[in-house]
Amino acid sequence: MQFKDIVGQEAVKQRLVNTVNENRVSHAQLFLGPEGSGSLALAVAYAQFLSCENKQPDDSCGECSSCRKYQKLMHPDLHFSYPFFAKHKDDTALTFIEQWREAFTTNPYLSLDAWRGYLEAENKQANINIAECHQIIKKLSFKPFESVYKILILWLPEYLDKEGNALLKIIEEPQPNTLFILVAQNQDQILNTILSRTQLIKIPCLTYEEIKQHLLTGHNQTEDAAAEIAYLSNGNLTEALTMLQQDNKGYHNLFVQWLRLCFGNKGLEVLTFVDQFAKMGRENQKNFLRYGISFIRECCLLMAGAGNLVHLPAKELETAQKMTQVLSIDKAQYISDELEKAHYHVERNANPKILFLDVSLQIIKILNLKTIPQGSQYIPN
Ligand SMILES: [Zn+2]
């Protein structure tokens, strides 16, 4: 992975290159950026740059023996750790290294959900277990074999249990020329003890323009399609790439039908829908909810008289205009909050049947209220 292959993030790249050129590489760093910002790709490109035998002014060469091994993630001084689902108690990240190489080389903007797919552990909780912590300590106790640096990239330290404290000593006093790069999304879910021992590198989400350009030049999208996906992805390239592959029309019809049933308070039919949602699988459920959130946002724009900002295809726009006749901005906001909450819970393995039933009931309640009292907390949870 070279810096030049990563979308945007010019300031971060420059900062990372400078640490090497100015010889002030910190031995424990935390790359903190939201999903789809490219933080994992940046960590790998940084590690490759550090180890390159023929460094260019602002990137690795991509051709030396080290770079060639790095491109395949097969350098003996490059190690990875990541959440996984242990089938046996002795399983460590190494057990899944083949899947990891495939996942990252296929898409360096990997999401945890996509990674779960590789592990065939869709609905199971992945984590970084104590066996893996011990493995990390063991791996890092050796001197580098070929490079100046031995580098461990730990993806999603949020999934380290308390056992992560086993790593403190090695983070604080590593072997010479050993680097720890943690790549995280949520600062407040990381063990404080680890946080306080690392240097923080903040990675912002991408801009609308950066994503749009990438879709135009890297994925042959039309101007309209690129603009629409860039807009809906909200600075998350992982999300934009997923959207490229999916057919939003299916979600659109399903979502609108669901709202109609809720509006008509058709209990039995809603239950049939809930069953259908439950069978969709988590990835699909999340995409569906995201679609719903974006669609409601577009409805709000229409109601607020900002139709010129709406990026929906003609048919969906027509439905959105009809929707605005039964919605108010308040109601739309409540529905959107419910969908956001549901998305959060799907990610955390909530029972899909109970979850979608609950959301449906909330939406029935909201849609059938005459008005929502201003500033009230009427809608529970
Ligand atoms: Zn090189």
**Res 123: pLDDT:** 63
Burial class (CB in 10 A: 0-12, 13-18, 19+), 14: exposed
What distance in angstroms lies between residue 180's CA and the mean position of ligand 1's atoms? 20
Class of domain 246-367: mainly alpha
In one-letter notation, the amino acid at residue 359 is V
Residue 235 has pLDDT above 80, yes or no: yes
CA torsion through residues 103, 107, 112, 113, sign: negative
Kindly report, residue by residue over 51-79, the tens digit of the pLDDT: 999 999 999 999 999 999 999 999 999 99
Pairing relation of β-strands 178-184 and 150-155? parallel
What distance in angstroms lies between residue 60's CA and the mean position of ligand 1's atoms? 5
- How large a percentage of the chain has pLDDT more than 90? 57
What distance in angstroms lies between residue 217's CA and the mean position of ligand 1's atoms? 26
**Res 381: pLDDT:** 39
Indicate the pLDDT class of residue 93, thresholds 50, 70 and 90: very high
**Res 161: pLDDT:** 79
Q: First-to-last CA distance in the chain?
A: 44
Kindly report, residue by residue over 109-152, the tens digit of the pLDDT: 999 988 988 887 656 778 898 999 999 999 888 888 898 999 99
- How large a percentage of the chain has pLDDT more than 70? 95
Distance of CA 334 to the CA centre of its chain: 25
Residue 212 has pLDDT above 90, yes or no: yes
Kindly report, residue by residue over 338-364, the tens digit of the pLDDT: 999 999 999 888 899 999 999 999 999
What distance in angstroms lies between residue 93's CA and the mean position of ligand 1's atoms? 26
CA torsion through residues 329, 332, 336, 337, sign: positive
Domains 3-205 and 246-367 share a fold: no
What distance in angstroms lies between residue 267's CA and the mean position of ligand 1's atoms? 63
Indicate the pLDDT class of residue 24, thresholds 50, 70 and 90: very high
Mean pLDDT, the chain, as a whole number?
89
Which of 66-75, 239-248, 279-288, 305-314 ranks highest by mean pLDDT?
66-75
Residue 31 has pLDDT above 50, yes or no: yes
What distance in angstroms lies between residue 277's CA and the mean position of ligand 1's atoms? 48
Indicate the pLDDT class of residue 7, thresholds 50, 70 and 90: very high
What distance in angstroms lies between residue 33's CA and the mean position of ligand 1's atoms? 26
**Res 355: pLDDT:** 94
What distance in angstroms lies between residue 53's CA and the mean position of ligand 1's atoms? 5
What distance in angstroms lies between residue 66's CA and the mean position of ligand 1's atoms? 6
**Res 143: pLDDT:** 85
- Cα distance between residue 136 and residue 154, in whole Å: 10
Question: What are the sequence ranges of the domains in the chain?
Answer: 3-205, 246-367
Residue 33 has pLDDT above 90, yes or no: yes
**Res 371: pLDDT:** 64
What distance in angstroms lies between residue 69's CA and the mean position of ligand 1's atoms? 9
What distance in angstroms lies between residue 8's CA and the mean position of ligand 1's atoms? 22
**Res 157: pLDDT:** 93
344, 372 Cβ separation under 8 angstroms: no
Residue 376 has pLDDT above 70, yes or no: no
Kindly state the tokens that stand for 337.
Answer: 């909050």
What distance in angstroms lies between residue 58's CA and the mean position of ligand 1's atoms? 12
What distance in angstroms lies between residue 43's CA and the mean position of ligand 1's atoms? 16
- Sheet holding 199-202: strands in order across? 78-81, 150-155, 178-184, 28-32, 199-202
Residue 194, by phi and psi: left (phi above 0), alpha (psi -120 to 50) or beta?
alpha
Indicate the pLDDT class of residue 210, thresholds 50, 70 and 90: very high
What distance in angstroms lies between residue 381's CA and the mean position of ligand 1's atoms? 54
Kindly state the tokens that stand for 9.
Answer: 């993030």
Please name every residue paired with 326 in a beta bridge, in sequence order, or none if there are none: none
Q: Of all helices (H) and strands (E), which one includes residue 323?
A: helix 314-323
**Res 248: pLDDT:** 62
**Res 247: pLDDT:** 62
What distance in angstroms lies between residue 77's CA and the mean position of ligand 1's atoms? 14
What distance in angstroms lies between residue 219's CA and the mean position of ligand 1's atoms? 27
What distance in angstroms lies between residue 214's CA and the mean position of ligand 1's atoms? 25
Residue 105 has pLDDT above 80, yes or no: yes
What distance in angstroms lies between residue 149's CA and the mean position of ligand 1's atoms? 14
Residue 380 has pLDDT above 60, yes or no: no
- Cα distance between residue 115 and residue 281, in whole Å: 15
**Res 185: pLDDT:** 96
Class of domain 3-205: alpha beta
What distance in angstroms lies between residue 115's CA and the mean position of ligand 1's atoms? 28
Distance of CA 211 to the CA centre of its chain: 15
**Res 222: pLDDT:** 82
Burial class (CB in 10 A: 0-12, 13-18, 19+), 167: buried
Kindly report, residue by residue over 303-332, the tens digit of the pLDDT: 999 888 887 777 788 889 998 988 899 999
- Cα distance between residue 210 and residue 231, in whole Å: 11
78, 151 Cβ separation under 8 angstroms: yes
**Res 325: pLDDT:** 87
